[in-house]
Amino acid sequence: MLQIKYKQIQTEFQYPFTTAHGQKTHQPALLIALSFNGITGFGEAPAIHYYNVSVESMTEELLSKIDLLQRYSFTEPDRFWHFCHHLFPNNSFLICALDMAYWDLYAKIKQQKIYELWNLEWKNIPQTDYTIGIDSLENMLEKIRTHPMPIYKIKVSNQEDLQKLKAIRNHTEATIRIDANASLTLEQALDMLPDLEALRIELIEQPLGKTQYEETRILAQRTDIPIIADESCVSESDVAKCAGAYDGINIKLTKCGGLTPALRMIHDAKKRNLKVMMGCMSETEIGTYAIAQFLPLLDYVDMDGPLLLNLPPLNRLCYEKGRVSFL
């Protein structure tokens, strides 16, 4: 019989975090612990206003089915995911927290890392970026000075941010990728391309609206900079929609419903010759520990949540100038 505990948390950001979707100073999340025979696995789901997900709604739904969950007979993780998907068909964030905790529990019982259960080798590991939210140029440069990293992801929302990107490039030779969070029009993005190419931008994440696949295809044909889907790629069915329009996809565990569907999305994307990125949604080390299991499969990764939050380390991961390893 599974034992389930949960905890609601709210963690302060080191700096107010601003994107095209708005600003936040704290990140609420639901933590879940699943125990079986004295061994415990942990999962996490952040609450994201943009997706109409709150800690309270996740908790309420969890409690409505907690008796059924606790009576679940211990089996393989993919079966547990299907069970959770049946219980909570419209709550991918809650399913993610449960699936993540179950994989963590299952791996601990097997005395292996999750990626080892997937028969992956720890090699060709991409480095994580450090995200710089929309801010004054002075504050953005101060964050770069304070947090030296090999890769920065810069949030942008309009053409005026080009001047900030130029100033940032003058201050660092680090790799720069940008994320517009679906805030640009096709005309704006096309106008920005020559400058972005001159600035040696590594990739452009979600430049246009989430349903603008045809417009994104036109943009991608005009540049060699990879265009990566984020808001356009939420669930498994979106991978096929992105093929032909985007050069790659950014998978978020919470949006797609956990590790189990994320694995399927990665294999589908690779069959379609799409690059694969995995991003965080400002999770603690519980959530980013799960992301780390996918590193051997990824082309890019954005797992800087623990670096953005005012939170003591949980001693699950080591971050050293973009390189991530297990403790």
- What are the φ/ψ torsions at residue 167 (nearest 5 degrees)? -65, -40
Q: Does the pLDDT at position 325 exceed 90? A: yes
Please enumerate in sequence order all residues whose Cβ is within 8 A of that of 99, keeping only pairs 6 or more positions apart, or say none: 43, 77, 80, 81, 84, 257, 258, 259, 260
Q: What is the CATH number of domain 3-111?
A: 3.30.390.10
Distance CA 85, CA 191 (A): 43
- Residues 71-81 pLDDT 10s: 999 999 999 99
| Domain 117-326 listed as CATH 3.40.50.1820 | no
Q: pLDDT category, 313, cuts 50, 70, 90?
A: confident
For residue 251, give both structure tokens.
């998978």
Range(s) within the chain of domains with CATH label 3.30.390.10? 3-111
- Is pTM beyond 0.85? Reply is yes
Range(s) within the chain of domains with CATH label 3.20.20.120? 117-326
Q: Do the Cβ atoms of 46 and 282 come closer than 8 Å?
A: yes
- What percentage of the chain carries pLDDT values higher than 90? 97
Q: What is the pLDDT of residue 215?
A: 98
Q: What is the pLDDT of residue 50?
A: 86
Kindly list the strands in the beta sheet with 151-155, ordered across the sheet, starting from the edge strand earlier in the chain: 130-132, 151-155, 175-179, 201-205, 227-229, 248-252, 275-279, 300-302
CA angle 294/110/31 to nearest 5° reads: 60
Q: Do the Cβ atoms of 189 and 217 come closer than 8 Å?
A: no
- Residues 260-311 pLDDT 10s: 999 999 999 999 999 999 999 999 999 999 999 999 999 999 999 999 999 9
